[in-house]
Chain A
């Protein structure tokens, strides 16, 4: 599909302006491309970090879940359900702030705020609760930091992906819209200017010929 031509006067001045604009657009596209590469590298880094955290989280949750089942097998599902229903829940809080990352982009930063514990008091009954339940609960408590860190990284990745898509759109707009438009317009002006030049030269040649013929005619009449 041919690019749209800009509405400009086909003058030499406009041609110079268009060429300058093209050079500038290509420069901006290059800068944006470099930013894009940097952002992609950053996303890959974050993705690796997230993947490690996700594996850690998956392992911890799987083993906690297995311990929970083990507790059910040892003490019965009814007892485990009873203990789970009667345990005081822990109130976690998540603080949100912003952190400056690659290219000065502001990322959302999450931080887990755990309630202060004065001395270790077992959450479950010391005599009745199977240790597997305590172990599972404390493992999940430990892994909560990882959950929040993973959420923070996921938010950063989402932000980066949005910026990457924006940059990519900008580059594509320059490369596939603005530059072709400038090229088409430049070509059009060049064609017009060439045509005008050709017409001018023909006109000059006709004038010259006519002048020559007139001069020859007047010389002949003078001789007669």
Chain B
């Protein structure tokens, strides 16, 4: 993509980058009480949202909400300054959060909760904000009602088709899987519209997230002994790890051999994938939660790798890497806030923070 397409957004990214919290400062927050965390966050980019959300009442839940509101605001700013293809890609990424809110609505309507309660669980991110969700929820009583009310939206048709062929009544997993697949298909489709170099960078940064999700699903399957067919239905569209590799990994008898199968298939393809899967194979005897945590770090590792690799300022990598780092920052802050609320020790909290490998 021509550099002039990046003129406006790159300066915004540079400004937003400066607002990010240093990893050292983030680690220093561990073990502090809620007032101290609040005081620290008020003086950062999150200040405005925190003051407006919390007011006089400082609660972990409100802090969490303020962090996500800030992410939504940052996303809006980036969309505003983006050129057409970048905007389309960012919008497709934003659909991830739409899918999250839709899944929340589906689950809660299925559980028989009322609209007021459901709205508390809607995250202020994406196009399905509380207002839109309230409008949907005001007229629905069942899953088919929700699917019906979404008929004019991006997900409407595909959800209706899934609901038609659904075998087990009340099982939401096919609908959830469809939503996720649709989101990732959208992202991959938008990546294809980028030019060669940007396409490669975007495939790497966004693709590793999809691949990590597929690996996580397979690892869960191995841990929970779910049948093969069920697992295949839940797999996402693929990036670097294709369907063949996924299928052969599913057939492996245990977790170690599954991870070795993945390592074998990616070791010549990409350095970050190789590093991640080498680490996973090394820790294959650890609990699945530990393996999932390593996979959680994959997008961040890939972002840093692409930033190092592509010196030229004007590329999609800067934008996507920034979004990843920002999201990781929010997840880390959320982790620290929840650890403080539950009196978790500093060492245990530090273990659960997503930090760069060489930190």
Contacts and interface: CB of A to CB of B under 8 A. Distances in A.
A73 B111 contact: no
B55 interface: no
Contacts of B292: 130-131
Contacts of A127: 176-177, 180, 213, 217, 234
Contacts of A119: 226-227, 230
Given A127-B177, A127-B213, A76 B108 contact: no
A73 B334 CA distance: 7
Interface of B: 60-61, 64-65, 100, 103-104, 107-108, 110-111, 113, 120-121, 123, 171-173, 176-177, 180, 213, 216-217, 219-220, 223-227, 230, 234, 287-289, 292-293, 296, 331, 334-335, 338-339, 341-342, 344, 349, 352
Nearest to B287: A135
A186 interface: no
A120 interface: yes
Contact of B352 (A70, A82, A135): A70
A78 B108 contact: no
A215 interface: no
Given A74-B296, A131-B289, A125 B225 contact: no
A132 interface: yes
A181 interface: no
A122 B225 CA distance: 9
A62 to B, nearest CB: 13
A118 to B, nearest CB: 11
Contact of A135 (B103, B123, B288, B334): B288
Interface in A68-84: 69-70, 72-74, 76-78, 81-83
Contact of B220 (A74, A77, A121, A122): A122
B15 to A, nearest CB: 27
Given A122-B226, A126-B217, A76 B338 contact: yes
Range class of the A interface residue count:
20 to 34
B173 A126 contact: yes
Given A77-B61, A122-B224, A128 B342 contact: no
30 contacts: A67-B289, A69-B342, A69-B344, A72-B338, A73-B349, A74-B335, A76-B338, A78-B120, A78-B121, A81-B121, A82-B104, A85-B108, A86-B108, A86-B111, A119-B226, A120-B226, A121-B226, A122-B220, A125-B107, A126-B176, A126-B217, A127-B176, A127-B217, A128-B176, A130-B289, A130-B292, A131-B288, A131-B292, A135-B288, A135-B289
Given A69-B344, A131-B288, 5 more contacts: A73-B338, A78-B64, A121-B230, A127-B176, A134-B220
A82 B289 contact: no
Nearest to B60: A77
A87 to B, nearest CB: 8
